[in-house]
Chains A and B, each alone.
Chain A
């Protein structure tokens, strides 16, 4: 299955190479920057698809290993299993869409594109690393990249939002650093190799301490209640494509951490404290939905639904930690699929919010009226993405959430019951938004221009739309990768 071509390194470094080229030719104007960025993100996506066609397998495959600090047992180790593969796929797709989306709208093009490509490499690195130290390095670079995107291209008082984002998530990632050091120091002989740690996870109070460090780090990143307060501010201020990446990918770094680290490296402690995760997950689901309902700004509303969706995800992982059987596998399948589904759906929603913002003078839903008449295509896409987000069968979120509930129902029927309430609330809020802002007579006083989606927007949205429908109708295209891996998780 493993070829001699280092496919993972190619996927990983293509965007970085693009970033260098963009910087190199920054004097040749925005056209070149656009072109280079789109081409390199596209090449990365093609290579990622090719990787999937070659086959992934149930354990880590396509492993690449180069010594880095031999005396510490740290190395440049890359590898993917089913779960990290779909995260890689999501990253390459969403970055391509976001970059394509940004080709028309954004100023200071070369710096922006270079940052985006750098961020793509960092995100891919997080998902592909099999080495704790390497993982941490990429994890931090994503923070720096996102900081500069929010601070540089955000709306209004972006400085404060960027600062809050950076400091808040740095606290989380430093807790992560402590936990990673703990993992390293409790492996004998000391090693940063994830495979070694997964094979011999730490137990007892040490495992417990590490688990709590990881929980804080990833709960901030995901984010779960009560660690979410950085998220709405960052989203409101960030540029549209930045928001799409933030919600679509950066939050998934936390979700991925729940699975790769907490579930695989501290299973004993996770099993013992799964109830804590379940409680905060259920609160996140309800809280996220209720607060989203109270929003009038369309972008903030979408931002809060992320907290709701991430709650389902964390719940699924916690069920998998408790239940080493079919229902556990089902919940974990759902949670992993949720990584992908939420990425494409919410990514698309944020990009669409950006499109609305380009055309209207406000993002306030009470002021927006009759968008469907003004921009039929844009509004159609929004309605579709919103339906996916509220969990309509046949669209991307349904198979994921269905499996999570199915798995969870076996042990925590009350929790599933409460969470179903979350589904009802999100349905209500999206329907209200659609009815209020998209249907009805048009109010052209708040609209700047009457042009529907342009080519670059269409090129950005269509792949995501196709994926949303494909995952909804044939979830197995993605689930087959995941299921191979999750089956092997359970003894």
Chain B
């Protein structure tokens, strides 16, 4: 028991952090709440770094300690800290500000549980904890748009959660247990497996904004505070994909699951990129961009059993994705959410424009930036596993995504006179500087990560 508790110590720290920052909120000390969050998440992250390389399980194999769950702690705790800082800048002094920080920790915890699931119940629990925090954060400003976005998020979440639970009961039915590992032994009843798989994809796809379960994403992002949208674009997604990877490791190959995932990947990438081409609202544009990026994650999951590159690809791409997305949202939070605000940004704020350029090029996958490192490994793993068509589709999509992001890049640098001016903000600058450094260095320092 003690050994189990010790092995999930990072997750426990996140839980304690959530509770402690809630206590500070009760005392009406929002800054205390924020500081607790930062210290707690940084501690959890540091602990996870020191444990990298450990492999094991806890609580009679229901929770897995491996590269996925440890990296999830590192990436998501970092994401939590950076988004909380953005929230501080955006929502400082509002009523009940401290609850946000507590919710960040809770929601992060949900994703961490997902990332280490060895048991079907953890999948359900993880999605629930994760999205419950998300609903509340999205509705925080109490404006009409925010409420609408949160309600959409909530309704979609309830329905997909129910479908997921329904599907997973079939798996419990045929294995007799809730262990994911026990699925490996199943040798017949492909159809029953398929029902469970459908439920799983629905539930996790919702959290990950994967086409066709993404419908909440643009509205929720548009209504929610920018900082909350930043958080929602990263944390649930990475948790869900890591969970999917955990399941795919053990799913018996009675059906061609990879084909289903591959088709979903292509649809998600293509749909996200093409719809993003028409968006004028930056938040909606980024929402569709996250739908597209979700497709790239799937490449690593398709190849997870056949290629040694897949796991590192998934992890590096998650790290890159977190950095470039939070960074881009930080810049959007400063400039405002209409694409015209970016005109002439380079004249007014050269560093901010260069940072945004780096985030966007990294999202396209231009070397030597972090996004390239991740995509490169993912493409490589897909080809290694024999899914060249998938890599080709992903690569064609990178071209479309270039057109999407150039719509922002060009006016940033080549409109003569900036129309809008932006006050500086120390917090935002420091957040996107951190993201900028990570985005630039991940590719170069890859040897220490893979």
Bound-complex Cα distance A136 to B368 (A): 9
Bound-complex Cα distance A133 to B309 (A): 15
Among the 9-residue stretches A63-71, A94-102, A372-380, the one with 4 or more Cβ atoms under 8 Å from chain B is A63-71
* 8 Å CB contact of A185 from B312, B376, B383: B383
Let me know if A174 and B399 touch, CB within 8 A: yes
Let me know if A178 and B410 touch, CB within 8 A: no
Q: Enumerate chain A residues within 8 angstroms of B366, measured Cβ to Cβ.
A: 140-141, 143-144
Let me know if A167 and B395 touch, CB within 8 A: no
* 8 Å CB contact of B402 from A170, A175, A184: A170
Q: Enumerate chain A residues within 8 angstroms of B388, measured Cβ to Cβ.
A: 178
Let me know if A177 and B403 touch, CB within 8 A: no
* A141-B367, A144-B366, A170-B399 as given contacts; A68 in contact with B446, CB under 8 Å: yes
Bound-complex Cα distance A144 to B379 (A): 21
* Chain B positions 353-394 with a Cβ under 8 Å from a chain A Cβ: 361, 366-368, 372, 376, 379-380, 383-384, 388, 391-392
* A166-B406, A170-B399, A181-B391 as given contacts; A137 in contact with B380, CB under 8 Å: no
Majority DSSP secondary structure for residues of A touching B: helix
Bound-complex Cα distance A144 to B376 (A): 18
Q: Is residue B2 within 8 Å, beta carbon to beta carbon, of the partner chain?
A: no
Q: Enumerate chain A residues within 8 angstroms of B309, measured Cβ to Cβ.
A: 72
Bound-complex Cα distance A383 to B372 (A): 46
Let me know if A178 and B392 touch, CB within 8 A: yes
Majority DSSP secondary structure for residues of B touching A: helix
| Number of chain A interface residues as a range | 20 to 34
Bound-complex Cα distance A152 to B347 (A): 13
Q: Enumerate chain B residues within 8 angstroms of A152, measured Cβ to Cβ.
A: 413-414
Bound-complex Cα distance A71 to B398 (A): 26
* A140-B367, A148-B413, A159-B414 as given contacts; A181 in contact with B380, CB under 8 Å: yes
Let me know if A167 and B383 touch, CB within 8 A: no
Count chain B CB atoms within 10 A of each CB in A70, A141, A177 and give the residue with the most.
A177
Q: Is residue A182 within 8 Å, beta carbon to beta carbon, of the partner chain?
A: yes
Q: Is residue A290 within 8 Å, beta carbon to beta carbon, of the partner chain?
A: no
CB of B63, distance to nearest CB on chain A (Å): 27
* 8 Å CB contact of A167 from B391, B399, B414, B447: B399
Let me know if A159 and B368 touch, CB within 8 A: no
* A137-B368, A140-B366 as given contacts; A69 in contact with B447, CB under 8 Å: yes
CB of B67, distance to nearest CB on chain A (Å): 13
* 8 Å CB contact of A69 from B372, B392, B403, B450: B450
Q: Chain A, 125-138, contact with B by CB distance < 8 Å: what is the 0/1 string?
A: 00000000100110
Q: Chain B, 429-450, contact with A by CB distance < 8 Å: what is the 0/1 string?
A: 0000000000000010011001
Q: Chain A, 105-142, contact with B by CB distance < 8 Å: what is the 0/1 string?
A: 00000000000000000000000000001001100110
Nearest 4 pairs of A and B residues by beta carbon: A137-B367, A174-B395, A69-B446, A137-B368
Known: A72-B450, A151-B413. 16 other contacts (CB 8 A): A69-B447, A136-B367, A141-B368, A143-B366, A152-B414, A159-B414, A163-B406, A167-B399, A170-B398, A171-B396, A171-B399, A174-B399, A177-B379, A178-B379, A184-B380, A185-B380
Q: Please, could you name 16 A-B residue pairs with CB atoms under 8 Å apart, sorted by A?
A: A71-B447, A71-B450, A72-B450, A137-B368, A148-B413, A152-B414, A159-B414, A167-B399, A171-B399, A174-B396, A177-B395, A178-B392, A178-B395, A181-B391, A184-B380, A185-B384
